[in-house]
């Protein structure tokens, strides 16, 4: 059976002192969970988060990285830099990066390969816009994004990639996909992975749902057959709310 992975994406929020207070509190609140708990924090919080999360079951991730190891890329952070301070996860291809920073499927693919090269575990985001959904293109869009993101990876790497299905229209809007719709879209992604990498890989790959996940809808979403947890934005900024999401089955 696949494990549940529940990750917070703080986006551009939280300062170091808030990070320390939050993680100290979260550690206590989620110490008994069987789910994997990850917090993806801004670069400036990473070091504090890693120190505070030591000896807890909370894992720390970044929200983006460059695919090159080093070089003249002002303002960028490399996978080697993240690895050097023991960051474990990295979100790749979040829709906000695709939308506001022109991140392409090609760049997403390069970043995933590079993450593996440097020993980081990627959390790869895919999802359709409202317009694509309304014109009946959801399956086509999300399976294509998945295919392009994973192109050239080994089956083992695909198995170790976390995919986050995040319908763009559900992000930060308070609108969630129904649990059936989210589950069906995730099944579509899983079927595409089965086609390309075999059923065993598809059965093992973790696919999360993201988009207005809250404590009040987490149980219903995470109980679906193919939804292996969530990538949580806004609701992860409140430690009590996020811990309730992690403890959805309690
Ligand atoms: P919200 O939970 O705020 O809708 O954000 C989802 C998201 O983008 C997580 O990466």
Q: How far is the CA of 8 from the centre of ligand 1 (A)?
A: 8
User: Cβ(214) to ligand 1 under 6 A?
Assistant: no
Position 175 scores a pLDDT of 85
User: Cβ(172) to ligand 1 under 6 A?
Assistant: yes
User: Cβ(234) to ligand 1 under 6 A?
Assistant: yes
Q: How far is the CA of 145 from the centre of ligand 1 (A)?
A: 18
117: its two tokens? 């090269």
* CA-96 nearest atom, ligand 1: 8
Output the CA–CA distances (angstroms, integers) from residue 158 to 8, 14, 208, 240, in the order listed.
22, 32, 14, 33
Position 84 scores a pLDDT of 98
Q: Is residue 66 flagged as an active site residue?
A: no
Pick the catalytic residue from 66, 94, 96, 103: 94
Q: Is the pTM of this model over 0.85?
A: yes
- Which residues does the chain have with pLDDT short of 50? none
* CA-235 nearest atom, ligand 1: 2
Identify the DSSP state of 173. Answer: S
Q: How far apart are CA 136 and CA 154, in angstroms?
A: 31
């Amino acid at each position: 059976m696949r494990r549940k992975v529940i990750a917070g994406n703080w986006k551009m929020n939280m300062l170091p002192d808030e990070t320390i207070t939050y993680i100290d509190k979260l550690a206590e609140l989620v110490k008994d969970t069987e789910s994997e708990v990850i917090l993806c924090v801004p670069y400036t919080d990473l070091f504090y988060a890693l120190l505070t999360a030591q000896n807890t079951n909370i894992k720390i991730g970044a929200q983006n990285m460059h695919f090159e190891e080093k070089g003249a890329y002002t303002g960028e952070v490399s996978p080697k830099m993240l690895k050097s301070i023991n960051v474990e996860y990295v979100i790749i291809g979040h829709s906000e990066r695709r939308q506001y920073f022109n991140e392409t499927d090609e760049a997403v693919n390069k970043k995933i390969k590079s993450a593996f090269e440097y020993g980081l575990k990627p959390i790869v985001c895919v999802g359709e816009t409202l317009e694509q959904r309304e014109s009946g293109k959801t399956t086509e869009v999300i399976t294509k994004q998945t295919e392009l993101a994973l192109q050239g990876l080994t089956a083992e790497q695909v198995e170790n990639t976390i995919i986050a299905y995040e319908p763009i229209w559900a992000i930060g809007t308070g609108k969630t996909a129904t649990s059936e719709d989210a589950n069906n879209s995730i099944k579509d992604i899983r079927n595409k992975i089965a086609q390309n990498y075999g059923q065993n890989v598809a059965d093992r790959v973790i696919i999360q749902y993201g988009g207005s996940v809250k404590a009040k809808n987490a149980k219903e979403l995470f109980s679906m057959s193919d939804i292996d947890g969530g990538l949580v934005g806004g609701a992860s900024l409140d430690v009590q709310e996020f811990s309730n999401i992690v403890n959805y089955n309690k």
